[in-house]
A and B are shown apart, each in its own frame.
Chain A
């Protein structure tokens, strides 16, 4: 494995490895309901990608700086699968317990039989200490044994590193939050921003946050982020770090290696101009279609729109969205008939116009706020005469009261009214 070295490197590095963290295998995706399994499976696929990359890049080892698993109580099967993937690369892998999977009681994932006897090449860093990783390099580890602490886990690295004879490359590994003011919690394992130099380490690989963070302690501390994004805001995730250290005291060279399986895409649309939005959503979705199978898609519709506009956007969206296996449509639009619709309703179906004003009145009673796009006044329109008592009697029929009336009920009422309007009456 040591045969491979990047051609552009003038001085062959003494050691190179892949650093990753926060795999959160077995993570929960409640908001995606039945798609959770697919999202979890994607994280294992990503683990396979890293193993493949490790082979391709001929690294000396892989290290995982905490939170390989989402929780200490993940199923043995998942642990076995993960270990099998890592072992299949034949690249030594060093796994550090993090705050999600701390090494704590007899029931923790690391103390169960499946982890007590891991496959060859898979090593669990159970205690603070030094591990030889070859090439005159050592791995100085500080694992976590609890979920929360105000102690800096990198402090343990100072003593451990001091025991390492001079002339060895010291690679630290631990899990926690860089103590950046306003970005970390006090009980979230704060790590000093000079933790690497303080402990005399060439490099300190840490994990905890899910976005890539580099440049700390003069470039000696790296937070690689989660290799597989788990939310729409992980815009700096989906990578592992290739770390190369040329010599004792040398600055590490860090290269991001993309490994993510799924893209998380959020499409937000304001239906102010339905025609333009319909064209826009079609174009946006068309651009995503080539990777539809590997995309987690969320479309969020907002704004006030008339029924026909809403229908147009839906019509543009629906034939495409079905091709995204994991998708969500968050429709927060408010149906607001336009002036022409109102005139039509007033003249053709005044009772429906009155019912719509009643729904607006219900919204006022439920939220205390008048909805935007108030019903335009005009002859033939009766303002809602719905009183709180009348509303209570009305809602009693569905075992509700105005305080339990939610925006989705009001939106649904408006949608249903227009949806059930006969075609020739729209």
Chain B
């Protein structure tokens, strides 16, 4: 729809009739100060378009001029589809409505009254409220495209109104299926009373009631089951205790019998033990009497034995004393003999030692002689080599003093001379003479040389040669070349230097020089070989002279140790081997002699010690013998005293005491044999049996008490009919559970199905929102100059956010007021563009950019200007200067007569 003109009568501050228009395609600007009636005019136009003419609400009354009862009249001329229409409505007083269509020449009345209202409603796809005036959400597309003053950021609720659905369907080109909506709504009606948004039972719902009832019944059921489990446990306990009681009763009877038997046995044992004690006392008396006789008899025997022993000991000691005296005498004789032997041995040893020293002196002389001879040999060898070396050195001294370096210099000089000679020969004058007959010639005043016929004489000179040929005369050949003379000079100098070199080295040719060098090298090698060959003979001596001096010293020492014959020696010169054998023999004899002397000294010491001991033993034996004699006398006196106690003799006394003891012992044994087996343990056993019986009876009493108590508890529980109670509760529980599950399954299933529908709807809406989002994003990018952001819309066509992705987008509510009003303007623009593909649309902007900075406002103007070919834009503003040049300026014009 687009607007062509608005005409109002008795509306707001407008008395009479005023017309706004005609509107143009593109941008129309109604610029006027505040309270000049801009918004009032547009609001009146909306009332004329969308409200029933019979409406009397406050919204309509507010159109009336203040303080008047005049009937507001509105006439709107608009285009919709392919037609051009006009609706004229008079409100409140004599309300009426006329709908006209322009047929190209004139207005044709097509409907009146309610029919006129409905025709407009149909054309604009608007709705009506149940009662009262319409609101923007009833205004169809204009309600969306009409941004009212003061509410730039508002957005109509697209979900709850018919308009929202229409708009969405128009925008998204989605056929919003009312059947689906009905199903969706009914599904919501299924689950919403039962479940919260989180999926939990909702308070007050039948599901929650069933849950509560089920919980209550379950609790009761669990209590009954707990009691049953307790009862079962008690029963098991009862059966166990009952078995224990039976076992204990059996055990108690057995224990009582065993205790009684043991008690009787213990009593008899006690009686027998008392008798045994008495008999054992008598036996003890007999044993003591017998022991006394035995002791006296034994004592007497020991005294007699002791007397004999003392006598024997005294005699033995006296014999030992005599033997010691004899042995002492023998020992002293042996001592004297040993002393004589020791002196003789020492004398012989001295002789042996003297002979050994003589032999060792002989051996020393022989060793020195051998050493002198060895040095002499070495000295001679060294001297021979020394002589040879000196000969070689003399021969070397006779060779030219030519070193390898001098040789290399001579070789260079020779080469230089050879080169210069070749050069001089090439540059100088060569004359070849070959006479036909024999003659002679003189060259440069030299001696005359005979020339054979046909023989050739070649003469070479640097620059000039003078020949005197016999029979022919003098021939002078001369050259003007200077180089030949220079070459000859350098040759002469070189030859002179070479001659000097020959003279210095003492050789006449290069071959001699090389031979001399070779000979010198060989001589030096031989000299070095001589030096090396002498080193073994020199040994530690540095020179041959030192070696020789050592040899002479050794010879003198050897002569000095000339071997002299020993006294008593046969005087025969002995060989070294013989002397060494003799030395070993004497050394062995000396060692044997020394050993013998040591042994003799040891024997002497032993004899001295033995002498001391024998003397001591002699004294001791005398003392011991005296003591034994004294003890023997005392023992004899004591034995006489003991024998006096037994007039019949000790044997008779022992027989009487032994018989009395045997009788007493027999009585004890007979009594002990009468004791029961293990009698010594009977008392303990009896006590234990009594204690065991007591314990069994106590346990039996305790178990009986426990069993009776459990029996009572079981009887009490048994009377409660727990199974019956559990049965009733189980069935009730199941009934409630089935009911609960039924409600829950239905509610949950409804919720899931509802969710599936929502999901599909959202997906469909998202799919078709994409072009709108792109358009909106592009428009806003033009305004903000931030190209990479996207605007995201939700399923309600609300701006969800702005950003690069939906997940990271900034929420619409977080944006600034300015950004929001710009964004909404862009959204309206995008929606209008989308809708304008079907038919032209009008976008009304009633002072919507109050929070927008001038730069962005300018950009918005650019944006609007670029869309003016496709949209009709109506801008209401109190700042017309901001929109100057942007579009067509509008103003009210007063109309003289009202059209009827």
Measured CB to CB, the residues of A under 8 A from B are 26-34, 36-37, 40, 70-78, 104-109, 111-113, 348-352, 354-355, 358-359, 362, 386, 390, 394-400, 406, 408-410, 412-413, 416-417, 420-422, 425
Contact = CB atoms under 8 A, between A and B. Distances in A.
A107 B179 contact: no
Interface string B735-746: 100100000011
B187 A416 contact: yes
A345 to B, nearest CB: 10
Interface in B722-767: 722-728, 730-732, 734-735, 738, 745-746, 748-753, 755-757, 759-761, 764
A362 B751 CA distance: 14
A399 B199 contact: yes
B760 A107 contact: no
Interface of B: 177, 179-180, 182-183, 186-187, 190, 195, 197-200, 228, 231, 234-235, 238-239, 710-711, 714-715, 717-728, 730-732, 734-735, 738, 745-746, 748-753, 755-757, 759-761, 764
Given A33-B738, A71-B723, A416-B190, A352 B195 contact: no
Nearest to A101: B723
B199 A352 contact: no
A70 B730 CA distance: 15
Contacts of A394: 752, 755-756, 759
A70 B186 contact: no
A200 B759 CA distance: 79
Contact of B198 (A78, A112, A359, A399): A399
A314 to B, nearest CB: 16
A111 B239 CA distance: 14
Interface of B is mostly: helix
Given A73-B718, A351-B180, A416 B724 contact: no
Given A398-B195, A398-B751, A416-B746, 17 more contacts: A30-B730, A33-B738, A72-B718, A104-B235, A105-B238, A107-B717, A112-B715, A112-B719, A351-B757, A351-B761, A355-B757, A355-B760, A394-B752, A394-B759, A400-B199, A409-B749, A413-B750
**Residue among A33, A349, A398 having the largest count of chain B Cβ atoms under 10 Å:** A398
A422 B718 contact: no
B895 to A, nearest CB: 52
Contact of A33 (B710, B724, B732): B732
The 6 A-B residue pairs with the shortest CB-CB distance in the complex, in nearest-first order: A75-B721, A33-B735, A107-B718, A412-B749, A73-B723, A107-B714
B707 to A, nearest CB: 9
Contacts of B745: 406, 408-409, 412
A352 B718 contact: no
B230 to A, nearest CB: 11
A352 B179 contact: yes
Given A398-B199, A400-B199, A409-B748, A73 B759 contact: no
A395 to B, nearest CB: 7
Contacts of A108: 718
A214 B197 CA distance: 62
A37 B710 CA distance: 32
**Residue among A75, A105, A348 having the largest count of chain B Cβ atoms under 10 Å:** A105
A226 to B, nearest CB: 17
A400 B744 CA distance: 12
A398 B752 contact: yes
15 contacts: A26-B724, A33-B738, A77-B721, A105-B714, A106-B718, A107-B234, A355-B753, A394-B759, A396-B199, A397-B755, A410-B749, A413-B749, A416-B190, A420-B190, A425-B182
Contacts of A425: 179, 182
B731 A36 contact: yes
**Residue among A74, A106, A395, A409 having the largest count of chain B Cβ atoms under 10 Å:** A106
B183 A421 contact: yes
A278 to B, nearest CB: 24
A26 B183 contact: no
Contacts of A31: 734
Contacts of A386: 756
A358 B746 CA distance: 18
A26 B753 contact: no
Nearest to B741: A408
Contacts of B187: 416-417, 420
Nearest to B730: A30
A93 B37 CA distance: 108
B199 A33 contact: no
A83 B187 CA distance: 56
Nearest to A409: B749
A410 B730 CA distance: 28
Contacts of A26: 723-724, 727
